[in-house]
Chains A and B, each alone.
Chain A
Amino acid sequence: QKEVEQNSGPLSVPEGAIASLNCTYSDRGSQSFFWYRQYSGKSPELIMSIYSNGDKEDGRFTAQLNKASQYVSLLIRDSQPSDSATYLCAVKRGSTLGRLYFGRGTQLTVWP
């Protein structure tokens, strides 16, 4: 079983819709969770981090974490064509130093 798995995609939504990106992880001891956005040919940029169960909102983005189900998701409200990118879920076992375990990413296309 892979450490971090994401829904395979690609995901295509119309402009203005809600895009839902999902991620599961295998290590129950994981404590830190991140969503990165990666445009084609560019490096990953951090969108959200979440450490506690529940929801965390930042503008149009909401991250949701359920440690019991080992599940983390990212919702993008009012999707825009500029949101079209690959979204990477990353998990860290501790809360301080350590490597990130990445999923393979979900490619999102928002069409006008």
Chain B
Amino acid sequence: GAGVSQSPSNKVTEKGKDVELRCDPISGHTALYWYRQRLGQGLEFLIYFQGNSAPDKSGLPSDRFSAERTGESVSTLTIQRTQQEDSAVYLCASSLAGQGGTDTQYFGPGTRLTVL
């Protein structure tokens, strides 16, 4: 596709429910990143994938958060037993990540998650 796509664009859920957020990176981009942006805040790193492996998971805030990527394309971020503090916009980015390349990250439109 032309850019990074994410679905759903909006998700409202009740506290304690599980949610899945999806990201489709730019075609050919091997690196994929998840960030979170709470209202009025900067972007907070969650996890990134190079291919199907995740070299850096250090930003995942708790074990309720997990992510996977299959086929070097689509990634899913899963939040179990959602809490109100999980409410945020979840942003996905992808990059070409070529050898010696500059790894510029391009962002998708985000998923706005609201936990009631």
- Point out residues on A near B: beta carbons under 8 Å: 4, 32, 34, 36, 42-46, 49, 51, 88, 90, 92, 95-105
Interface string of B77-111 (1 = CB under 8 A from A): 00000000000010100010101111111111110
Cα distance, A96 to B35, chains bound together (Å) = 18
- Tell me, yes or no, whether B62 is within 8 Å of chain A by CB: no
User: Which of B14-22, B40-48, B67-75 participates in binding chain A?
Assistant: B40-48
Max count, chain B CB within 10 A of own CB: residue among A32, A43, A100:
A43
A43 to B109, Cβ gap below 8 A?
yes
A88 to B59, Cβ gap below 8 A?
no
A65, chain B: closest CB distance, angstroms? 14
B56 to A46, Cβ gap below 8 A?
no
A104 to B42, Cβ gap below 8 A?
yes
B108 to A43, Cβ gap below 8 A?
yes
Told that A95-B100, A100-B45 touch, could you supply 10 new A-B pairs with CB distance under 8 A? A43-B107, A44-B43, A46-B104, A46-B106, A49-B102, A96-B97, A103-B42, A104-B41, A104-B42, A105-B42
Given contacts A43-B110, A49-B104, contact A102 B42 (CB under 8 A): yes
A32 to B45, Cβ gap below 8 A?
no
Max count, chain A CB within 10 A of own CB: residue among B41, B102, B110:
B102
Chain A residues with CB below 8 A from B56, complex form = 98-99
Cα distance, A46 to B33, chains bound together (Å) = 15
Query: Which residue of the partner chain, among A4, A88, A92, A103, contacts B103 with CB atoms under 8 Å?
Result: A92
Cα distance, A73 to B48, chains bound together (Å) = 27
Cα distance, A36 to B101, chains bound together (Å) = 19
B103 to A43, Cβ gap below 8 A?
no
Cα distance, A34 to B107, chains bound together (Å) = 13
Query: Which residue of the partner chain, among B59, B91, B101, contacts A44 with CB atoms under 8 Å?
Result: B91
